[in-house]
Structure 1
Amino acid sequence: MARKHLVFHGQVQGVGFRATAQSLAKQYGLTGWVKNKEDGTVELEAEGSAQDLQSFTREIKEGPSPFIKIKAVEEDDYDEEKGHRKFKVIY
């Protein structure tokens, strides 16, 4: 199991990004959270198998919606998990 922390830059707020991320995370069986930040970015932390995290990250970077336009992604990988129980949107 692994954990990934991502910060998405671009047109990522007000375009359904968090709901899309939550839906995708559930499809891959990932746990964690996603939230908007005051600087206009979206921050996300996800846990699960390394393969599921890789697939999830690849799919979300491709912009699963025509309204989501990602310009840059800050990405950090961790071996230890925090033990999230589900994937939630933080408001």
Structure 2
Amino acid sequence: MRRGVSLTVHGRVQGVGFRWMTKMVADQLNIVGLATNNDDGSVYIEASGEENNLQEFIAAVKASPTPSGHVERVEENEISAESALGKFRVS
């Protein structure tokens, strides 16, 4: 079953390759969606995929997919699985 989430990731997540490494993880797990920087220094992510893959993706984001990043907290909300369609993109 597919489901979708939005994540707002706080910490040292801008300027450290966080969005691009997140895309690599998403591509490996067949997750679709997007990652973009917010003006407050956080990163906003929309992601959709099969439940097991999505859980693995969320765990990777919470652990920081880049070694130079540091995640302090993640706000997670359910969204429609159809909200995030197409290949995972970085903007």
Matching residue's letter, 1:11? R
Aligned to 1:78: 79
Per-residue CA deviations over 1:39-74 (Å, capped at 9, x if unaligned) read 100000001111111011111211232211010100
* C-alpha contact (below 8 Å) 2:36/2:43 kept by paired residues: yes
Amino acid at match of 1:10: G
SS state at 1:64 partner:
coil
Find runs of 4+ consecutive structure 1 residues off by over 6 angstroms. Answer: none
How many residue pairs get matched? 90
With the length of structure 1 as denominator, give the TM-score of the two structures. Answer: 0.92
Identity %: 37
Matched letter for residue 25 of structure 1: A
Secondary structure, aligned partner of 1:25: helix
Q: CA RMSD in A?
A: 1.2
Alignment of 1:44-63 (within 5 A): 44-63=45-64
Matches within 5 A, 1:4-43: 4-43=5-44
Task: Give structure 2 stretches of 5+ with no counterpart.
Answer: none
AA of the residue aligned to 1:38: D
One-letter identity of the residue aligned with 1:21: T
Task: Say if 2:33 and 2:46, in contact at 8 Å, map to a contact too.
Answer: yes
Structure 1: stretches of 5+ with no match in the other structure: none
